[in-house]
Each structure stands twice: as C-alpha cells, then as structure tokens.
Amino acid sequence: MAVIIDGKALAAEVDQDTKKQVDSLLKRGLEPHLVVILVGDNEASQIYVRNKSRRAEKLGIKSTVIKLDADTSEQDLLDQIEKLNTDDSVHAILVQMPLPDQINEFKVIETISPKKDADGFNPVNVGRLSAGQMDHTPVACTPKGIMKMLEKYQVNVDGKNVVVVGRSNIVGKPMSYLLLNANATVTVAHSHTANLKQLTKTADILVVAVGKTHFIKVQDIKDDAVVIDVGMDRDENGKLTGDVEFSSADKVASFITPVPKGVGPMTISMLMQQTVELAKWSKE
C-alpha cells in the first residue's frame, strides 16, 4: 500500500510558516498586499476568489478584490492592471481565469508586472524559470506546491525518470521546468503522444494533469512509482475525484496524492507564500 501524501496537513504547515513571515514583515511596517481581479460572475471563480481572500485574511495578508462586469472591455482591464503595477502598496496581482470572450488572456498575463505576478504566468517569469534563474522568480503555484510535497516526503528527484501527463501553461510546462532544474529526466506527454500508457509505465515519478476522471489506471503505473494526481474531476455521482484511479493505484505506488486533500490545498498555500515573497522582494 502506498504512503498517502497529505496535502492538507502540509498546506497547514506552509501557512504556519507564512503567518510567521507576515508577522515579521508587519513589525517592519510592510503589509503584504494581494489584489485579485474578478471579471464577470462565473460561480466557480467567485468561490475560488472568496477562498483566496479568506486565507489571506487568516494569515494577516491584505487582500483586495476588484470586481468588474462581464462586459468589461479588454482595454479597461489592462488599464486597471497598469494602475496596480505602479501602486507601491500592491505586491501581488492575480486576474482570476477564465475571462469573458472579448478579453485575450495572454495579453492580460503579459500586462501584469513580472515583479507582481502572483500566479507566476508572465512570460518573463516563465522564461526565467525555464533558464533555471530561480532567484526572485515567482512560479506557478500548483507545480511549486508539488515540489514542496516531494521535498517534504523525501522523494529524491535527482536522476529519476519523470513523466508529466499534460502540457498546460498552468501545470504541465512549469512542472517540467522545475523538475529539470532539480536534475530529473523529464518527458512531457499529452493527447497526441503515441503509446502513452506504455510511456507512463516507465515513470519513477508520474504527474498527471489532464482533467479526465480516472484517466490513469493501475496497469499504467510502474511498481513503486510516486504518483501525483493534479486532477479535480467529478465522477458520475458528482463526487470529487482525480485523473488517477486511486483505489487501485495505491496498491502499486510507493507514494500517492489523494483527491481531495492532495495537491489542491497546496496551491492556495503556495499563492499566499508567493505573495509574501513578492512583498519581500519589492524592498530588495
């Protein structure tokens, strides 16, 4: 049976450390400030934003939510971001995705100052990450959280064969860069990969982020592999589940993340930690 990686407990540890850092910064007169922009009334987005605000408040981080109408023009949103870029009291900016059709997401990501990029999606920061320049570089929060999990559970990445299934800009690509920077041998697989299941079977560490319920089954996993499931899916009964069939996979894996209480809780904790880092870096 696999060791279950407890993302919820680790997230609480990260939060504790973040709270200490916030307290120390507040004593120096520096209040970390995260601004989240929400465009439109997407229900899931509203829940995410509310959760982020609550967590920030709990940790002593100032949190401002700017709500814009669904018919807001792209230019109005870009102007709002530029205003925040030049506001010294703001350290971290996040625009909640998805955005309405009239707004180009890439333009928005590109406009957020690399020095205030809470999500780590700005192409300057992605370029720095891919070049291995990790000093003062914000990184996508989910992959950053996964690296923290591997470190906590003493999973050695150096020299290991890692297969990342999924090539999104949010998880797959930044995950591959972080693993490469940690000396892993990385293969990024996706929907066009031939013989995908044979490939996953070669992985010492398997990271799955495709958004398809139980896409990876026990027969696709090498014995004693470390399995990281980034999926947040709903099964036919509406129950939250992952991209990996947990009930069978945990019989062959050495370590595995559950869904829920696995990767998910780490993402928001890493966002809070990154907000504090951006506040610190703004004064260096």
Sequential DSSP letters for the chain: -PEE--HHHHHHHHHHHHHHHHHHHHHTT---EEEEEEES--HHHHHHHHHHHHHHHHHT-EEEEEEE-TT--HHHHHHHHHHHHT-TT--EEEEPSS--TTS-HHHHHHHS-GGGBTTS-SHHHHHHHHTT--TT----HHHHHHHHHHHHTT---TT-EEEEE---TTTHHHHHHHHHHTT-EEEEE-TT-TTHHHHHTT-SEEEE-S--TT-B-GGGS-TT-EEEE---EE-TTS-EE-SB-HHHHTTT-SEE--SSSSHHHHHHHHHHHHHHHHHHHHT-
Is 264 known as a binding-site position? no
From 117, 119, 220, 250, active-site residue: 119
Is 168 known as a binding-site position? yes
**CA gap 145, 263 in Å, rounded:** 7
**Known active-site residue 274:** no
**Known active-site residue 102:** no
Q: What is the CA radius of gyration of the chain?
A: 19
**CA gap 228, 256 in Å, rounded:** 6
**Known active-site residue 160:** no
From 6, 15, 21, 96, active-site residue: 96
Is 73 known as a binding-site position? no
In the numeric block, which tokens belong to residue 85? 């870029």
From 6, 15, 52, 148, active-site residue: 52
Residues making up the annotated binding site are 166-168
Per the annotation, binding residues for NADP(+) are: 166-168
Query: What are the residue numbers of the active site?
Result: 52, 96, 119
